[in-house]
């Protein structure tokens, strides 16, 4: 009996020590204002309990972690991780269904693998939240989701389901399907499907014909898009395709997010006038195909034009299948984006874009305790990610000594 009681006491003490953590940081980038020099963060029950100067008293039963730099957990604004696997074999590639170019009824939650090695790979580099789902390559490839990079199944990882509708307007679509074959056909097919959804919505709202037509999952998803209940995540690269996306959004009153936007520096006025958010391609993305005019200075250009930037890891068709946004933001900073704007591009900016900034993206009392601790400048190549904390749990521990 005594042995059982002793074991229970150990278990209780361990769980308390994990849930109650004090962090000492030489520099704490809260993304809520000024950098805190020699600050302290107290974490209690998975949330940030206090944050401020070193004058904050640390309770005796708190575990203390020390680091040179502390930032919020990193947020990958758009990826296919969890549907796209690191082995690059058919059995772990669920990010694109090629039976039809338009499939809005597909849901990322039905394919997400929380145990995928790429999820753990991103977590090791401080990525605590991802916006993931069906990848680019189809006119409408499916619905996205937001997840934490923890858990053994999708329910444990899930933050939001049915966040956006992934769409692509790009020449790459023609390589995956018999039709469309040209840009004009892409837009015509999207427009036709949206007109069909408008008619479906009208019939479903008619009380006299509420059972005619029968429920259609594809149309239901498009009606959510038309009603503004779900935004379109439109992957576009060429300037003419960016303008086409803006034209269709205006025609149907859609709320969209412009994704990748390689040639966005050519149409900054139009993007700014639209008011739509931008998720920018990885800084070091390959310059080929519709991305041939890529510039490593685009993040700085958009920022200077007053357009908030969120940097993504995106989807890669080759091993290791995913980029590290910490490195991509560092490259953007090296090419003109201010340092703290680089941090914002992978923390608070994507949090605001995704509508989860009341939970994550910055360090503030009451928010989820998602943090990354470093032994130096986060954007220096030789800097180590020492600790990663998600929901108050230390999920990576490497030490900053």
* Angstrom distances, CA of residue 72 to CA of 1, 54, 293, 348: 44, 19, 33, 8
Q: Which residues span the domain enclosing 308?
A: 74-354
pLDDT of the residue at 90: 87
Residues 123 and 235 in one domain: yes
φ/ψ of 159, rounded to 5, equals: -110, -50
Residues 85 and 193 in one domain: yes
Number of domains in the chain: 2
The answer to whether the beta carbons of residues 151 and 114 sit under 8 Å apart is: yes
> Read out DSSP for 16-32?
HHHHEEEEEEEEE--SS
Helix/strand/coil for 5: helix
pLDDT of the residue at 322: 86
Residues 266 and 321 in one domain: yes
pLDDT of the residue at 210: 61
Residues 245 and 375 in one domain: no
Specify if 359 maps to a domain: no
Residues 253 and 375 in one domain: no
Specify if 325 maps to a domain: yes
Low-confidence ranges of the chain (pLDDT < 50): 1-18
Cis peptide before 142 (omega within 30 of 0): no
The model's pTM is 0.93
Residues 250 and 120 in one domain: yes
- The CATH number for 370's domain is 2.30.40.10
Residues 159 and 285 in one domain: yes
- The CATH number for 294's domain is 3.20.20.140
pLDDT of the residue at 358: 98
Residues 119 and 188 in one domain: yes
Residues 48 and 171 in one domain: no
Helix/strand/coil for 401: coil
42 vs 65: CA distance, rounded Å? 10
């Amino acid at each position: 009996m005594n042995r059982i009681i002793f074991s229970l006491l150990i278990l209780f003490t361990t769980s308390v020590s994990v849930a109650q953590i004090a962090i000492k940081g030489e520099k704490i980038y809260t993304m809520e204002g000024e950098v805190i020099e020699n600050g302290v963060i107290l974490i209690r029950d998975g949330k940030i309990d206090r944050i401020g100067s070193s004058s904050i008293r640390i309770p005796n039963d708190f575990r203390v972690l020390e680091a040179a730099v502390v930032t919020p957990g990193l947020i990958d604004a758009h990826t296919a991780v969890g549907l796209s696997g690191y082995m690059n074999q058919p059995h772990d590639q669920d990010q694109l269904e090629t039976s039809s170019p338009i499939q809005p009824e597909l849901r990322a939650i039905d394919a997400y693998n929380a145990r995928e090695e790429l999820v753990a790979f991103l977590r090791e580099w401080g990525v605590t939240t991802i916006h993931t789902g069906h990848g680019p390559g189809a006119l409408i490839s499916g619905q996205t989701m937001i997840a934490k990079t923890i858990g053994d199944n999708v329910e444990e990882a899930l933050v939001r389901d049915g966040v956006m509708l992934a769409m692509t307007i790009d020449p790459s679509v023609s390589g995956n399907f018999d039709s469309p074959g040209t840009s004009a056909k892409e837009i015509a097919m999207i427009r036709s499907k949206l007109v069909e959804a408008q008619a479906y919505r009208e019939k479903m709202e008619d009380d006299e014909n509420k059972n005619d037509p029968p429920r259609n999952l594809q149309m239901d998803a498009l009606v959510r898009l038309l009603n503004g209940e779900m935004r379109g995540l439109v992957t576009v690269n060429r300037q003419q395709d960016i303008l086409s996306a803006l034209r269709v959004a205006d025609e149907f009153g859609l709320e969209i997010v412009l994704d990748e936007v390689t040639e966005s520096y050519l149409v900054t006025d139009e993007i700014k006038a639209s008011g739509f958010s931008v998720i920018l391609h990885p800084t070091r993305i390959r310059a080929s195909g519709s991305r041939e005019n890529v510039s490593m200075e685009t993040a700085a250009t958009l920022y200077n034009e007053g357009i908030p930037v969120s940097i993504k890891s995106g989807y890669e068709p080759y091993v290791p299948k995913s980029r590290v946004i910490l490195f991509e933001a560092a490259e953007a900073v090296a090419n003109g984006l201010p340092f703290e704007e680089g941090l914002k591009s992978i923390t608070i900016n994507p949090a605001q874009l995704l509508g989860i900034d009341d939970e994550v993206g910055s360090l503030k009392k009451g928010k989820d305790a998602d943090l990354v601790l470093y032994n130096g400048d986060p954007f220096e190549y030789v800097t180590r990610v020492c600790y990663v904390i998600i929901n108050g749990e230390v999920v990576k521990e490497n030490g900053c000594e």
